[in-house]
Amino acid sequence: MGDDRAKILIIDDDPDFAETTQAMLESADYEVCLAEDGKKGLDMIIQEEPDLVILDIMMESMFEGFSVISTLRGTPEFIDYRDIPVIMVSAVRQEYGSRFSLPEGGEHLQGDVYMDKPIKAKELLETVARLLAENR
């Protein structure tokens, strides 16, 4: 394989965040693709087979990110992709002063790591590297 750079899919409807995050990741030599909503994100997981997903929790709806991850982790058509590490991101702490409390039995909706926006480049890159290493 010519290109063994890790591929990262960003699913986020905030173009500023997506572009900033894409630039951070590309500076560390990752390949990056973008999806601006959950449905497109799920389609791209199958098309692009990313090594890691960065998923915004709140897009068009408050819980769109949770619906993406529950589809990814819990439906048969995504069985080959359900081990892809997911970093959940949200500005919710900024907006509400607290994080979500997950519903009972919602542990699988957490993703592998939760990060608050705005994300610091160093923290993001360290987290991405660690998740990719753990998942190799």
* All structural domains of the chain: 7-131 (3.40.50.2300)
| pLDDT bracket for residue 97 (50, 70, 90) | very low
Q: SS3 for 55? A: strand
pLDDT digits (tens, 9 = 90+) for 15-65: 999 999 999 999 999 999 999 999 999 999 999 999 999 999 887 777 788
Looking at per-residue pLDDT, the higher value among 62 and 67 belongs to: 67
Query: Residue 48: what residue type?
Result: E
CA 34 to chain centre: 10
Question: What kind and span of H or E run contains 16?
Answer: helix 15-27
Between CA 116 and CA 124, with CA 121 as vertex, the angle to 5 degrees is 60
Cα 76 to Cα 66, 70, 72, 80, 83: the distances in Å are: 17, 11, 9, 8, 13
Return the pLDDT at 127: 96
